[in-house]
Amino acid sequence: MAGQLVPVVMFPRFTGLIGATTYNSLAIDVAAFSELKISIWRSPIVSNAGSGAFSASVVESIDRDSWEDAGSTQHVDPGTNFEQQYVFPLSRRWMRMQIVLGGTDPATTLWASGFLVKRER
């Protein structure tokens, strides 16, 4: 059924991330879906050197080896203690979410969950 919403959790409540690096969710086969509607929330970023940086994106792949940004909404930050909703169009078979933390020893807590929208046939 086209337009049907299927729940998905990319990062469960409350996932703690520590260290300046890239964090990837597991890859999901999204061939049957046209878009991801996702809500992202994060806590303040704690860092040893003042402020840290946060970037969330959805990347997709045809082979789970080479990954590219999904759609025109590329790197987002909902802001401290604020839940923001985003829509990412999907055009390839595999999708995963990437969180990048920057700064000196940054740490934050987050969650990202939403719905996959079934593709029209």
Write out the two tokens for 73: 């909404």
Averaged in consecutive runs of 10 residues, what is the pLDDT profile of the chain (121 residues)? Answer: 86 96 97 96 89 92 92 85 94 96 94 95 70
DSSP three-state, residue 80: strand
Measure the CA–CA gap between 55 and 27, rounded to whole angstroms.
Answer: 18
Question: Smallest Cα–Cα separation from 79: which of 106, 54, 104, 112?
Answer: 54
Q: Residue 36, class by beta-carbon neighbours within 10 Å (0-12 exposed, 13-18 middle, 19+ buried)?
A: buried
CATH number at residue 25: 2.60.120.660
Instruction: Look at residue 52 in the predicted model and tell me its pLDDT.
Output: 87
Type of residue at 121: R
Instruction: Look at residue 49 in the predicted model and tell me its pLDDT.
Output: 77
Instruction: Look at residue 94 in the predicted model and tell me its pLDDT.
Output: 97
Could you give the number of structural domains in the chain? 1
Counts for the chain of helices (H) and strands (E), in that order: 0, 9
The Cβ-side half-sphere exposure at 79, using a 13 Å CA radius, reads: 4
- Domain enclosing residue 101, as ranges: 5-118
Instruction: Look at residue 73 in the predicted model and tell me its pLDDT.
Output: 67
Q: What does pTM read for this prediction?
A: 0.90
